[in-house]
Every structure is written in structure tokens, then in C-alpha cells.
Structure 1
């Protein structure tokens, strides 16, 4: 079953981006930990190694196979538990990717607004469905649901046309 795509196109920190929200019935500190602590990230997307106080970490996605190489993520801004701005430069890619995670809490409910820069329409067809998938895995991890039950095949390529149209 294909989930309804929820992303939108916005300019975030000066970059044309895919923006996706997810809401949690959890305090902001808990959601912040889920998106910044390596052991919590491992439940839904990947792990990082290194010392964040140096301004960068190595990040390796864990749901895309065993041959995925780690990427260097540069930390440009970190304001716990509200905002983190990062870039990733994939070897051989012409552009760095800009990520922004912003969290707000109202009455015990936390909203995560996630964005990734998207340089063109073709990139949007994979980035949008990919982050819909990963953020639904985050929701599953944080609500105690089966993360393995979130199937990438339900998102891609089914949501690709939606994201292509957003960036047309």
C-alpha cells in the first residue's frame, strides 16, 4: 500500500528543498535524541561515528544494504533540542546536500520539520520518497511499531511522480 506523500517544496536556508513534517506525542528532548543520538538513529536510518564537537561525523545508512559507504556530515549549526543544520558531500556528487531538522513542542506534542536540498527534478523523485520512508521508520521506532514493516517498495517509485511535479 502506497502511503500518501506529505512533502512539500520550500526554500530552506537559501536552498530549494523537500520539506516533510512528522508529529510525535513525545517531549521534544525525546525526539531530539531520536534524530541526533547514534544508537537511536540506528533504529530507523543509520549510525554516526566520530566526535561531533569537531564539527563533523561519519554517517552510514543502515537500511540500504551492507555496501553503503559512510558519508561525512558537517555540522553547521546545532541548537539542542530545536535545530540542527548539516551538509553531506557524497563522493563524486557535484553538489553538497543541505539538511535542516527543526523541532517544536506544544503541550507535549513535538513536530519534526525535516528538509533536504534538492538540486533538480530528477533528484526529487528519489529524495522525496526516500525521506517519506525513513521518517515513517522513525515514527515506527518511536511508537514501538515494527520498523521492518515499513517497506521502501511502498514509497518508491510510487511517490516519484508526486515529487517530480513539485519540482517541475
Structure 2
């Protein structure tokens, strides 16, 4: 974190091969299982419309693809109405026993508490893990990130 931006960094390890995790992050029918669907044409510089299906009343929002290096790195700018642009960086690293996902969310220094944003990303990454494992995904009501459980 510096004076100009807030950086939220999360790391998750999944027992799945890097190609499978990449596909869960980039294919609309797979993203639908944990975060939402998207429409449009993928590719660097293109804008897709992301519908976050776990959020009631959420309208599709534009996401500009800034970097795409399959199956290792994806960077997107998420545009939220009335809020600054959020840059999301996903970096995958293969490991003998699966894949490590390094997630970085960069945003201009907000005037609000970012703990809800952090909880939201924990929620979505837990949903990603559950979808990869073929398990039911967590619901927001009653959700507590593992790092915050007593």
C-alpha cells in the first residue's frame, strides 16, 4: 500500500493442474460456477461484459483485458459505476502438487473501509476452489473467510 493506491494481495493453492485453473478463470461456462458469466470477445485490449451472478441485482459491467498470457497471467480493469477502476491481476504458477494463484487487486486509495472488498475476494476465491473440487460453492449469507474464523 502506498499513498496513491491500495493493493490487496491474496494467495491460494489448488490441487488442480494449471490448465484446469486457467480454464476455470477464463471460460464463461466455468466462471459462471463461481463468480459470473461474461460475454464478448476475449483478447488483450478487448472489453468483455461481466455479470457477477453471486451478487443480487448486479448489472453486467465492463472489464478491459490488459494482459493475457495463457495459462500464466491475466490482468483486467474492472469498471464499476460510480467507483474508480479496479485492476485485478491473476498470476498462476504450476507446482508439482497443483497450482498457486497469486491474486492482486489494485485500486486508487479509497475513502472507504476495504475490509468488505477483501472479504468479497476471499469469498470468490473460496467459490473458485469449491468449483474446481466439484463441491457446492459458499453462499454470502453466513460466509466468513478462513483467515477471519475464530
Q: TM-score, normalised by structure 1?
A: 0.77
In the other structure, the counterpart of 1:114 is 103
Is contact 1:15-1:98 (8 Å) kept?
Answer: no
Report the counterpart of residue 137 of structure 1 in structure 2.
127
Alpha-carbon distance between aligned partners in 2 of 1:155 and 1:142, rounded to the nearest angstrom: 20
Please state which structure has a larger fraction of its residues in helix: 1
Specify the alignment match of 1:124 in structure 2: 114
CA–CA separation in structure 1 for the residues paired with 2:39 and 2:120: 23
Partner of 2:139: 151
4+ residue runs of structure 1 moved beyond 6 angstroms?
none
Q: Tell me the equivalent position of 1:50.
A: 40
> Where does the alignment leave 5 or more consecutive residues of structure 1 unmatched?
1-9, 160-168
Deviation, structure 1 residue 81: 0.4
The CA RMSD over aligned residues, in Å, is 2.1
SS at match of 1:136: helix
Provide the aligned length of Structure 1 versus Structure 2: 143
Bigger Cα displacement from structure 2, 109-118 vs 75-84: 109-118
Distance 1:121 1:129 in 2: 17
Q: What aligned pairs does 1:1-168 form with structure 2 within 5 A after superposition?
A: 15-53=5-43, 55-65=46-56, 67-93=57-83, 95-118=84-107, 119-120=109-110, 122-147=112-137, 150-152=138-140, 153-155=142-144
Give yes or no for contact 1:130–1:155 (8 Å, CA) kept in 2: no
How many angstroms does 1:35 deviate by? 0.6
Give secondary structure in 2 for the equivalent of 1:122.
coil
Tell me by how many angstroms 1:123 deviates: 4.2
Conserved? CA contact 1:27–1:105, under 8 Å: yes
Q: 1:38 to 1:126 in 2, by over 3 A?
A: same
